[in-house]
Chain A
Amino acid sequence: MTFSRALCASLLATSCLLPAAALAQDATSLPPVDVESATSGAGEAAPLGGAVVGRDEIRRRQAGTSDTADLLRSVPGVSANTGGGFSSMPAIRGMTEQRLRVTVDGHPIDLSCPNDMNSPLSYTDPQTIQAIRVLAGVAPVSAGGDNIGGVIDVTSARPQFSGQGSTISGELSAFYRSNGDGFGGSARVTVAGENLSATYTGSYTQSENYSGGGNRGVVRSTEFAKTDHALELAAQGGFGLVRLKGGYHFAPYEGFANQAMDMTDNRSWFVNLGYEGEFDFGSVRFTADYRDTDHEMNFLADKLPGAMPMNTEVHTFSAALKLDMPLSARDTLRTGWEYHHQWLNDYWPPVPGSMMMGPNTFVNLNAARRNRLGTFGEWEARWNERLTGVIGVRIDRVSMNSGTVQPYGTGMMNMNDAMAAAAFNAADRERAEVNWSASGIVSYALADGVSLELGYAHKARSPNLYERYSWGRGAMASRMIGWYGDGNGYVGNLNLRPERADTLSAALDAKGEGWSLRIAPYYTHVDDYIDAVFVKKITNMMGMPTPWVQLQFANQQAEFYGVDLSGEVALRRGAGRDGTTLSASLSWLRGQNLSDGGPLYRQMPLNARASLQHRQGPLEAGVELEWVSEKTRVDATRNEPVTAAYALLNLRLGYDLGAVQLSVEALNLLDKAYDLPLGGVSLGDHKATGLLRPVPGRGRSVNLGLSTRF
Chain B
Amino acid sequence: MGSAAGTGQGGKARLVSGLASLALHALAAAGVLAVSGMEPPSVPHGPARLTVVTLKAEARPPAPEPEETVHPRAGGEPRPAAPPILAQAPEQSFAAGPAPALPEAPVAQVRQAPALPPPPPPVRQERAEDGFAAYQQQLWRHIAARRPQGAGLSGEATVRFRLSPAGALLSAEIAGSSGSANLDRIALRTLRLASPMPAPPQGMASERLVFTLPVRFH
- List residues of A whose CB falls within 8 A of some B CB: 6, 9-10, 12-14, 16-17, 19-21, 23-24, 26-41, 43, 158-161, 163, 194, 236-241, 276-280, 282-283, 290, 292, 315, 317, 319, 326-331, 333, 335, 337, 339, 341, 343, 367, 369, 371, 373, 375-377, 379, 382, 384-386, 388, 393, 395, 397, 399, 401, 432, 434, 445
A375 nearest CB neighbor, chain B only: B21
Q: A327-B35, A379-B31 are in contact. Are A29 and B91 (CB under 8 A)?
A: yes
A315 to B4, CA, bound (A): 10
**B128 adjacent to chain A (CB < 8 Å):** no
State how many angstroms separate the Cβ of B98 from the closest Cβ of chain A: 8
Which chain B residues border A21 with CB–CB below 8 Å? 175-176
Size category of the B interface is: 35 or more
What are 29 sample pairs from A and B whose C-beta atoms fall under 8 A apart?
A10-B185, A13-B177, A14-B174, A17-B174, A21-B175, A24-B158, A28-B87, A32-B99, A34-B107, A35-B149, A159-B153, A161-B153, A276-B151, A278-B181, A278-B186, A315-B1, A329-B42, A329-B193, A333-B28, A343-B3, A375-B17, A377-B25, A379-B28, A382-B111, A385-B110, A385-B113, A395-B20, A395-B21, A397-B17
Q: A17-B174, A20-B175, A27-B160 are in contact. Are A278 and B218 (CB under 8 A)?
A: no
Q: Which of B64-72, B118-126, B136-144 contacts A (4 or more CB under 8 A)?
A: B136-144
The 4 A-B pairs of least Cβ separation, nearest first, read: A37-B150, A41-B152, A385-B111, A278-B185
A326 to B110, CA, bound (A): 18
Query: Per DSSP, are chain A's interface residues mostly helix, strand or loop, or mixed?
Result: strand
Q: A276-B151, A375-B21, A384-B114 are in contact. Are A31 and B99 (CB under 8 A)?
A: yes
Q: A278-B189, A335-B28 are in contact. Are A373 and B182 (CB under 8 A)?
A: no
A238 nearest CB neighbor, chain B only: B181
B217 nearest CB neighbor, chain A only: A35
Q: A27-B211, A236-B181 are in contact. Are A38 and B193 (CB under 8 A)?
A: no
Are A30 and B139 touching (Cβ within 8 A)?
A: yes
**B95 adjacent to chain A (CB < 8 Å):** yes
Are A10 and B20 touching (Cβ within 8 A)?
A: no
Which chain B residues border A327 with CB–CB below 8 Å? 32, 35-36
A501 to B194, CA, bound (A): 39
Are B151 and A41 touching (Cβ within 8 A)?
A: yes
Other than the known A21-B176, A32-B214, A328-B43, what 5 A-B pairs have Cβ atoms closer than 8 Å? A23-B55, A29-B213, A39-B152, A43-B148, A280-B50
B14 nearest CB neighbor, chain A only: A373
Which chain A residues border B43 with CB–CB below 8 Å? 328
Which chain B residues border A280 with CB–CB below 8 Å? 49-50, 185, 189
State how many angstroms separate the Cβ of B23 from the closest Cβ of chain A: 8
Are B32 and A36 touching (Cβ within 8 A)?
A: no
Which chain A residues border B50 with CB–CB below 8 Å? 6, 9, 280
Q: A35-B147, A280-B50, A367-B2 are in contact. Are A23 and B17 (CB under 8 A)?
A: no
Which chain A residues border B184 with CB–CB below 8 Å? 10, 13
Are A43 and B149 touching (Cβ within 8 A)?
A: yes
**B180 adjacent to chain A (CB < 8 Å):** yes
State how many angstroms separate the Cβ of B110 from the closest Cβ of chain A: 8
**B63 adjacent to chain A (CB < 8 Å):** no
**B16 adjacent to chain A (CB < 8 Å):** yes
- Which of A36, A317, A373 lies in contact with B13, CB distance below 8 A? A373
Are B212 and A24 touching (Cβ within 8 A)?
A: yes
A388 to B43, CA, bound (A): 21
Q: A328-B43, A339-B5 are in contact. Are A393 and B24 (CB under 8 A)?
A: yes
Pick from B52, B183, B217 the residue with the most CB of A within 10 Å: B52
- Which of A24, A39, A379, A385 lies in contact with B145, CB distance below 8 A? A385
Are B3 and A328 touching (Cβ within 8 A)?
A: no
A64 to B49, CA, bound (A): 53
Pick from A6, A21, A32 the residue with the most CB of B within 10 Å: A32
Are A432 and B13 touching (Cβ within 8 A)?
A: yes
A335 to B27, CA, bound (A): 11
Which chain B residues border A39 with CB–CB below 8 Å? 152
Are B182 and A240 touching (Cβ within 8 A)?
A: yes
Which chain A residues border B41 with CB–CB below 8 Å? 328
**B103 adjacent to chain A (CB < 8 Å):** no
State how many angstroms separate the Cβ of A445 from the closest Cβ of chain B: 8
Are B175 and A33 touching (Cβ within 8 A)?
A: no
Which chain B residues border A379 with CB–CB below 8 Å? 28, 31, 35
State how many angstroms separate the Cβ of B191 from the closest Cβ of chain A: 10
A586 to B68, CA, bound (A): 57
Q: A158-B153, A375-B21, A399-B13 are in contact. Are A341 and B182 (CB under 8 A)?
A: no
